[in-house]
Amino acid sequence: MRYLSRIFQPVITIPKNAIIKNTEITCKSQRFLLECGLIRPTSSGLFTILPIARRALDKLELQIRSCIEAAGAQRMSLPSLTSSALWEKTGRLDEVGPELMKMEDRHEKKFLLSPTHEEAVADLLADTGPLSYKQLPLLLYQIGNKYRDEHRPKHGLLRAREFSMLDAYGLHASDACAQHMYDRVSEAYAELFRRLQLPAYRVSAPSGSMGGPLSHEWQLPAAAGEDELATCPRCRQAALDGDQRCERCGGALQWLQSVEVGHTFILGTRYSQPLGALYTPGSGGPQPVIMSCYGIGITRLLAASLEHLSTDKSLRWPKLIAPYDIMIIGPKEGSYEWQSIGSNEMDRLYDVISHNQPDADVIIDDRHHLTIGKRLVMADRMGYPTIIVIGKSYLESPARYEVYRSTSPATPHTSQLTSQHPAPPRETPALLTEAELLAHLDGHDELLIKTSA
């Protein structure tokens, strides 16, 4: 889709502190996602993901899949509905209790809309019969929607009742093998956050109702986070419950609000034992499989990254998952520039860039009845990483584009923009000829230093 006017993006203006249908606005990402027409609440804690946000989620899923598959994971899909009987056998039906979304089919068989699938995976193995130790380890994963009947859903996608998750399950013949897999998947998580340029911390965590001997949470600092993280600025060590001083280097700890975006566990035989998920060792009878499991909240990670990177005025995305990479803005209809440049110039630039950068997602703001300044303000607010304006400077010789960047990580006080006072976003634009522009998009950032100033 090349034209912004064709995109379904129901923008709304929300007065400060307003309570809109089914939702109370309590944080930045939630407000931006709603106001910019990226999500829409249907009931408390339930959201329709609209096309622009869907694009970002698709890109995020691609990154997650690439990292987890590099660790050897194989994708599958389990049903969202899990038999309640399985959860009864492991004792979690009562333990997790009111947070489970439960239902009954026409034959009065009881199901739950799964928040996680340890029981379902263990039951799958019980059903297929004992694996040979030679088939282990295995790492199976899925990406799909999960359900949790939160008492009080809030913060939009940060704490929703239906959410998208990666969940992966490691199957092992020994504790040492489980630990090896655990380290490998932890490294895959680290690689994911490196790619997204997000400073997520891995911290020891209690296993809670999941059970098992070992667990870590991955925490991303963000003001709206409900967890408190003690971090050491000196050695980057972090903990959920810290003292005054860092255990590793003795430095003074800083406390940050943060969001849990991932969780990993070694589960031992917590699920395989009661549900009969077995493997056959080299000698002797079948044994319960040692399990590990790995989760990343995908919708939550998207919201948390927006929470972490955005300013109060403007959305900022991890560059790799921005819904569109490049926004093109042409002159206002009827203006002097419009008459001189012509209406085809935006399409021509789109084609040139798409030809040179086949991987870049380009979009044209074709709402030519609006001024360049107004569209620029809106584009900055949406956080397109690169904004190209075809305006006054294009009439000079040689013709130059105004190029604005709004890349992450955002710096504070980037923008004092309001819609009443349209002004260029955050920086003096770089003025680039077409050749310079293409070189810049190719990754030669130094050209941007050549500004008009």
Q: Which stretch binds Zn ion (CB under 5 A): 23-31, 52-60, 225-233, 389-397?
A: 225-233
Interface residue with Zn ion, options 222, 232, 329, 362 (CB under 5 A)? 232
245 binds Zn ion (CB under 5 A): no
164 binds Zn ion (CB under 5 A): no
CB of 239 to Zn ion, least distance (A): 10
Do residues 113 and 125 lie in contact, with contact meaning Cβ atoms separated by under 8 Å?
Answer: no
Residue 204, H or E segment: strand 201-204
Q: Which two tokens stand for residue 243?
A: 């003292």
Q: How many residues does the chain have?
A: 453
Query: Tokens 């998580």, residue?
Result: 189
Using CB under 5 A as the binding criterion, the count of chain residues that bind Zn ion stands at 8
Measured distance CA(67)–CA(61) in Å, rounded: 10
Do residues 366 and 346 lie in contact, with contact meaning Cβ atoms separated by under 8 Å?
Answer: yes
Task: Give the residue from 436, 362, 447, 446 showing the smallest Cα distance to 401.
Answer: 436
252 binds Zn ion (CB under 5 A): no
Q: Which stretch binds Zn ion (CB under 5 A): 13-21, 224-232, 332-340, 385-393?
A: 224-232
413 binds Zn ion (CB under 5 A): no
235 binds Zn ion (CB under 5 A): yes
Is 243 or 446 the residue whose CB approaches Zn ion more closely? Answer: 243
Measured distance CA(46)–CA(222) in Å, rounded: 22
Q: What backbone phi and psi angles, to 5 degrees, belong to 362? A: -110, 145
CB of 246 to Zn ion, least distance (A): 3
237 binds Zn ion (CB under 5 A): yes
Rounded CA Rg of the chain: 25
List the helix and strand counts (H, then E) for the chain.
12, 24
403 binds Zn ion (CB under 5 A): no
CB of 219 to Zn ion, least distance (A): 16
CB of 201 to Zn ion, least distance (A): 12
248 binds Zn ion (CB under 5 A): yes
In order of 89, 310, 417, 435, the CA distances from 420 in angstroms are 61, 21, 8, 35
Interface residue with Zn ion, options 72, 144, 199, 251 (CB under 5 A)? 251
224 binds Zn ion (CB under 5 A): no
Is 85 or 249 the residue whose CB approaches Zn ion more closely? Answer: 249
Measured distance CA(157)–CA(318) in Å, rounded: 17
CB of 243 to Zn ion, least distance (A): 12
229 binds Zn ion (CB under 5 A): no
234 binds Zn ion (CB under 5 A): yes
Measured distance CA(39)–CA(20) in Å, rounded: 13
Residues at the contact surface with Zn ion, assessed by CB under 5 A: 232, 234-235, 237, 246, 248-249, 251
